Amino acid sequence: MVEKNGGKENKSNGVKVPKPTEQVEKKEVALKADAKPAVVTTPTTATASAQVPAPAAKPTKKKGLERVYTIPLRKAFEAKRTSRANRAVDIIRAFAARHMKSPLVRIDEKVNQLVWSHGIEKIPRKVTVRLEKIDDVTTVSLPE
């Protein structure tokens, strides 16, 4: 039986390959000045002379598509009084899915509170929101 790194003969070139001994090295990666350093452990072999560099710090926020829209809620007034706020949330969700081309829409709690601020019957006529798309998930929030 021929093994690749088990100390036996390699089938491709007939050279004996020594069995690697693994050591674990600890490396510190500073993410930010105020953040705690992350410790990265990388296995290395005794025969390897070059050290493996630590991975770069990941950004905290991924870049995506961001737009500000004013959504008219006039169609919610066509619904009966006791379901206007629910209909307004559905309109916001459909608007975000249509304009950002994303089936998954997450509505922020503050947008929901704005729609429901005067109760279920008296909703605002229009709402200005910020739509942000990251990895096929659209987030609806209030503009800052």
Dist CA 52 CA 32 (whole Å): 21
Is residue 143 classed exposed, middle or buried when 0-12, 13-18 and 19+ CB atoms within 10 A define those classes? exposed
Res 90: pLDDT: 97
Total domains in the fold of the chain: 2
Q: Is residue 17 part of a domain?
A: yes
Same domain, 45 and 76: no
- Mean pLDDT for 45-74 is 73
Q: Is residue 113 part of a domain?
A: yes
- Tell whether the model's pLDDT for residue 27 goes beyond 90: no
Tens digits of residue pLDDT in 4-19: 555 555 555 665 655 5
Q: Is residue 83 part of a domain?
A: yes
Q: Is residue 4 part of a domain?
A: yes
pTM of the model: 0.58
Same domain, 41 and 86: no
Q: Dump the DSSP string for 69-102.
A: EEEE-GGGGGS-GGGHHHHHHHHHHHHHHHHHT-
Same domain, 50 and 69: no
Tens digits of residue pLDDT in 60-116: 556 789 999 999 999 999 999 999 999 999 999 999 999 999 999 999 999 999 999
